[in-house]
């Protein structure tokens, strides 16, 4: 007969305080954990890459329940073996509700997504980094079956690009001022379809004066300079063009696009924001 650890038996007999009845009759909209860093594997077009995510996970707590089981959030992350993409994020939040005996819940995490890019002329490869946030909200339907859980999925990415001022180009004899810009896109997605981070990044980079690369040779630098000069964009142009691009994507249900130009001839930024719901 196998020996049983007495401390294990003691732990099994411990009262479940979190599940005790609460008399205050006040439901809690969100309760959970925040600021948890956890390793991830990310599915990218160039393969599976390691990353570290900063997580926020919560559930709604009924009025009659004293507390939620905080450790189960971490247990859920510990068991994740599938690489992160839109499908695995949906699966994770679906799994969270029954694990915590909850009717509503949310998972949000931010990480750095790396994309291997080839320079436009030399073809030399380098990595570009993008700040990405996935948010998945789940709500239990009328039935108790897991397939009755409704999910709202959101993908956010911050994409650095180059913008060249059309006004400066028009009034100057010897060139035009340009600056690095950040395009921040937040899109609500149909959870039954798949959108990759690279899809969202491409929507921004394709509408900028020029995209950026981590490493450029001199022929590449010449190409970028001339390409941006031939494609001037105000900050207003950036948000309208990117929003128009995303509006045509059937996977996108609603969107918010913000562009911020870190001005090279001013000590302030210029920005614009646009929101659309289909």
Tell me the per-residue pLDDT of 221-252, one tens digit each, with 9 for 90 and over. 999 999 999 999 999 999 999 999 999 999 99
Q: How far apart are CA 260 and CA 269, in angstroms?
A: 6
Domain boundaries, the chain: 28-277
Q: Give yes or no for residue 146 having a pLDDT over 80.
A: no
Q: Name the pLDDT band for 100 (thresholds 50, 70, 90).
A: very high
| pLDDT value of residue 45 | 85
Buried b (16+ CB within 10 A) or exposed e, 36-45: eeeebebbbe
pTM, to two decimals: 0.88
Tell me the per-residue pLDDT of 35-48, one tens digit each, with 9 for 90 and over. 999 999 999 888 89
Closest CA to 269 of 257, 260, 259: 260
Q: Are strands 104-118 and 252-262 parallel, antiparallel or unpaired?
A: unpaired
| pLDDT value of residue 3 | 52
Q: Does domain 28-277 have CATH number 3.30.565.10?
A: no
Q: Is 74 exposed, middle or buried (0-12, 13-18, 19+ CB in 10 A)?
A: middle
Q: How far apart are CA 234 and CA 53, in angstroms?
A: 34
Q: Name the pLDDT band for 66 (thresholds 50, 70, 90).
A: confident
φ and ψ at residue 218, rounded to 5 degrees: -60, -40
């Amino acid at each position: 007969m196998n020996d049983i650890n007495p401390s294990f038996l003691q732990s099994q007999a411990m009262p479940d305080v979190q599940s005790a009845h609460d008399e205050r009759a006040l439901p809690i909209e969100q309760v959970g954990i925040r600021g948890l860093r956890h390793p991830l594997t990310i599915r990218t077009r160039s393969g599976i890459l390691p990353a570290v995510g900063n997580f926020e996970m919560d559930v709604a707590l009924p009025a009659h329940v004293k507390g939620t089981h905080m450790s189960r959030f971490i247990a859920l992350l510990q068991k994740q073996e599938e690489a992160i993409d839109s499908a695995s994020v949906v699966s994770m939040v679906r799994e969270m509700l029954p694990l915590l005996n909850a009717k509503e819940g949310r998972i949000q995490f931010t990480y750095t997504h790396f994309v291997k890019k080839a320079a436009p002329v030399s073809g030399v490869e380098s990595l570009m980094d993008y700040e990405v946030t996935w948010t998945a909200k789940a709500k239990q339907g009328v039935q108790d079956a897991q397939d009755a859980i409704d999910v709202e999925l959101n993908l956010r990415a911050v994409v650095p690009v180059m913008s060249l001022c059309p006004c400066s180009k028009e009034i100057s004899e010897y060139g035009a001022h340009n600056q690095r810009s950040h395009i921040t896109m937040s899109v609500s997605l149909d959870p039954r379809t798949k959108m990759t981070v690279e899809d969202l990044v491409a929507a921004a980079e394709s509408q900028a004066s020029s995209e950026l690369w981590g490493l450029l040779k001199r022929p590449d630098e010449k190409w970028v300079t001339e390409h941006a000069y031939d494609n001037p964009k105000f900050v207003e142009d950036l948000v309208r063009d990117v929003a128009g691009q995303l509006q045509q994507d059937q996977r996108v249900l609603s969107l918010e696009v913000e562009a911020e130009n870190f001005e090279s001839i001013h000590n302030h930024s210029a920005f614009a924001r646009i929101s659309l719901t289909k």
